[in-house]
A and B are shown apart, each in its own frame.
Chain A
Amino acid sequence: MATKANIEEHKNVWVFAEQNNGKLAKVSLEMLGEGRKLADKLGVELAAFLIGDNVKTSAETLIAYGADKVFLAEDPELKEYRTELYTDIICKKALEEKPEILIIGASAIGRDLTPRVSFRLNTGCTADCTELDIDEEKRLLVSTRPAFGGNVMATIICPEHRPQMSTVRPGVMAVPEADASRTGEIITVPVEIKPEEIKVRVIESNEKEHEGEKIEDAEKVVGIGIGASDPESVEYVKELAKVLGAKIGGSRPCVEKHIIPHEVQVGQTGKNIRPELYIPCGISGTVQHTTGITNAKYTIAINKDPNAEIFKFANLGIAGDAKVILPAIIKEIKKYKA
């Protein structure tokens, strides 16, 4: 095992571009937006690393979203994600090219792959970040992440090892504007896979069915909390969501009570949302919940306790009983639409 890196040799920012069945993960576009900012601050190139089978068309998309270069590794054996195959390809190239930063979306695949890559490259990885920045004086990546269930934030650096690696929670960074006129270079990465050496066999793979749009992508979200979890309030929440065309999300206790599925839990152990409108109903506003809503653009909170924490995260606050307020709001909105 090598020890410290020769820092001057390392240059450029890399983003891992995740795809599933040929479809780019949204979080990877978010990473390109963030990677672009970091690369510009450092005055270096941004490269995307794309792995899969027959995924070349996505390489153009990555350039449109901000990559200067795309490293493209294709092979039929790479159709299904496998930790070690991906790790081998990325590490081999990273040792040749010596990037100074590698950022990856903290999706299920990202969180499976990144630690293995970082261990092999003998470098550190900051997990599930919500903020990245450059310390320009020391030319260091400065990563901030929640820990202890969201009760603390930690700022972490990796001063003596390269690349500096971080994963970033989906939904935290904005997807940049695509620019189809951008040009870039696509570099084919040679792939040598010996099928007999592959250790993990994929027997079956099924995409879970989604009821339409994901909560992370929803433009409007109505949040349901314990204070609105009685059957009557739940009906009002559903109706409000319907008249607004919103998705229903909510707090973890409501998931535990099977009022909403885990896919729409908002917060530390759920999803980060970034809607134009968020209406939390009967949600107290614990830090575990609010880490997931800081990117909501406009928030209207309803809670019967005028001192509830949730109001600190709201633009409009309504101190009142959800059972009384919700039907009144539904009625007024219907009037507007009529």
Chain B
Amino acid sequence: MKIIVTIKQVPNVTKVKWDADGSLIRAGLPTIINPVDKHAIEAALELKEKHGGEVIVISMGPGQVESALREALCMGADQAIQLTDRKFAGADTWATSYALGCAIKKIGDYDLVISGVEAMDGNTAQVGPQMAEFLGLPLLSYALGIESDGKKVQIQQKLGDFERKIEADFPALVTVEKEINEYRVTPMDKILEAFEKEIPVWEADDVDAELVHLGLKGSPTKLRKVFSPKIEKGKVQMLEGTPEEIARQVADKLNEKFLI
């Protein structure tokens, strides 16, 4: 079974800063593997342990994504591929999915692609479904559980108010929820092994991507502005007095507003 896992390196969201034209200042931000993507790696590793095969992780981003890929190798992935090229920069989900899709095509001959449902920075949850479309794969989204017999994949799907069991033949694309598994703590021997592995860096030309569809230029959506969420300050009336007095004012107010 050949499984490709897409992982995104994300900044620690609580420490985000922006420059004047609204671009994210990435320099100096601590980065991590998008948390749910670790569950995607774990799901792939568990399938491989049952059925044999290999797990390949890919990540698109600036040079520093190597550390995310290294961490995935430590967890037990067999191979990692880094997609780094200035031409990929500034991509919306369409252009991101296109570039990742081109790389997946280049790897070729896979049975499964696994991604996280949603990245904790962009928060769109669009890249999984869009890669599936580009690659012409059936999409099995929101997986809470995953099983395979080596020919097809079946998932437990959390679809809003419904829980479904759905399946498709290989090749297919699955997006996973964090409830799907507990991911492993990296075994020591893997860490040493992982640091010896080479991580090839692919550029746009290496994956036969068409320039018009890449990066900022290839993105149909454009960021007009970013701003801090507005807070309506100063309209609050603070209640004073003993707890009993406060409680009476609350009850009076609720009564006045027909809320009791």
For residue B125, which residues in chain A have a CB less than 8 angstroms away from its CB?
Answer: 111, 115, 127
Bitwise interface map of B from 79 to 122 toward A, beta carbon under 8 Å scored 1, else 0: 00000000000001110010000000000000000000000111
Residue contact A142 to B238, C-beta cutoff 8 Å = no
Tier of interface size on chain A = 35 or more
Known: A124-B220, A157-B221, A317-B238. A116 touches B130 (CB 8 A): yes
For residue A320, which residues in chain B have a CB less than 8 angstroms away from its CB?
Answer: 243, 246
Known: A152-B229, A199-B138, A313-B231. A126 touches B221 (CB 8 A): yes
Bitwise interface map of B from 168 to 189 toward A, beta carbon under 8 Å scored 1, else 0: 1100100000000000000000
Residue contact A1 to B213, C-beta cutoff 8 Å = yes
Instruction: Give bound CA distance, A125 to B127, whole Å.
Output: 11
Q: Which of B50-58, B139-147, B192-200 contacts A (4 or more CB under 8 A)?
A: B139-147
Residue contact B229 to A128, C-beta cutoff 8 Å = no
Q: Which of A56-64, A158-166, A229-237 contacts B (4 or more CB under 8 A)?
A: A158-166
* Chain B, Cβ-Cβ closest to A143: B221
Instruction: Give bound CA distance, A123 to B213, whole Å.
Output: 11
Residue contact B130 to A324, C-beta cutoff 8 Å = no
Instruction: Give bound CA distance, A153 to B225, whole Å.
Output: 8
* Chain B, Cβ-Cβ closest to A279: B250
Across the interface, A316 reaches (CB within 8 A) one of B93, B123, B250, namely B250
For residue A80, which residues in chain B have a CB less than 8 angstroms away from its CB?
Answer: 164
Across the interface, A124 reaches (CB within 8 A) one of B92, B123, B134, namely B92
**B133 interfacial contact with A, CB 8 Å:** yes
Residue contact A210 to B233, C-beta cutoff 8 Å = no
Across the interface, B167 reaches (CB within 8 A) one of A200, A277, A318, A325, namely A200
Across the interface, A152 reaches (CB within 8 A) one of B159, B228, B244, namely B228
Instruction: Give bound CA distance, A37 to B162, whole Å.
Output: 31
Residue contact A119 to B130, C-beta cutoff 8 Å = yes
Residue contact B133 to A315, C-beta cutoff 8 Å = no
For residue B210, which residues in chain A have a CB less than 8 angstroms away from its CB?
Answer: 1
**A207 interfacial contact with B, CB 8 Å:** yes
Total cross-chain contacts (CB, 8 A): 251
> A residues 291-338 with Cβ under 8 Å of B?
291, 298, 300-301, 306, 309, 311-320, 324-325, 328-329, 331-333, 335-337
Residue contact B239 to A317, C-beta cutoff 8 Å = yes
Residue contact A204 to B165, C-beta cutoff 8 Å = yes
For residue A331, which residues in chain B have a CB less than 8 angstroms away from its CB?
Answer: 247
For residue A128, which residues in chain B have a CB less than 8 angstroms away from its CB?
Answer: 123-124
**A6 interfacial contact with B, CB 8 Å:** no
Residue contact B237 to A315, C-beta cutoff 8 Å = yes
Interface of B is mostly: mixed
**B126 interfacial contact with A, CB 8 Å:** yes
Bitwise interface map of A from 212 to 254 toward B, beta carbon under 8 Å scored 1, else 0: 0000000010000000000000000000000110000000000
Residue contact A276 to B259, C-beta cutoff 8 Å = yes
For residue A277, which residues in chain B have a CB less than 8 angstroms away from its CB?
Answer: 254, 257, 259
Residue contact A108 to B260, C-beta cutoff 8 Å = no
* Chain A, Cβ-Cβ closest to B140: A200
Instruction: Give bound CA distance, A252 to B234, whole Å.
Output: 26
For residue A155, which residues in chain B have a CB less than 8 angstroms away from its CB?
Answer: 223-227
**A84 interfacial contact with B, CB 8 Å:** yes
Residue contact A316 to B236, C-beta cutoff 8 Å = yes
Across the interface, B16 reaches (CB within 8 A) one of A123, A148, A309, namely A148
CB distance from B127 to the nearest CB of A (A): 8
Instruction: Give bound CA distance, A112 to B238, whole Å.
Output: 44
**B201 interfacial contact with A, CB 8 Å:** no
Residue contact A328 to B244, C-beta cutoff 8 Å = yes
Instruction: Give bound CA distance, A309 to B232, whole Å.
Output: 11
CB distance from A94 to the nearest CB of B (A): 14
CB distance from B122 to the nearest CB of A (A): 6
| Chain A residues within 8 Å of B, Cβ to Cβ | 1, 3, 20, 80-81, 83-84, 87, 107-109, 111-116, 118-120, 122-128, 142, 146-161, 199-208, 210, 220, 243-244, 276-277, 287, 290-291, 298, 300-301, 306, 309, 311-320, 324-325, 328-329, 331-333, 335-337
Cβ contacts A to B, 23 pairs, < 8 Å: A112-B129, A115-B97, A115-B128, A116-B130, A118-B130, A119-B94, A124-B220, A125-B124, A127-B125, A148-B13, A156-B223, A157-B222, A199-B138, A203-B164, A203-B165, A206-B162, A208-B163, A277-B257, A277-B259, A313-B231, A328-B243, A332-B251, A333-B251
| Chain B residues within 8 Å of A, Cβ to Cβ | 13-14, 16, 18, 92-94, 97, 120-130, 132-134, 138-142, 154, 158-169, 172, 210, 212-213, 219-239, 243-244, 246-251, 253-255, 257, 259-260
Q: Which 9 A-B pairs have the closest CB atoms?
A: A124-B220, A124-B221, A328-B247, A108-B160, A127-B124, A115-B126, A332-B251, A199-B138, A115-B129
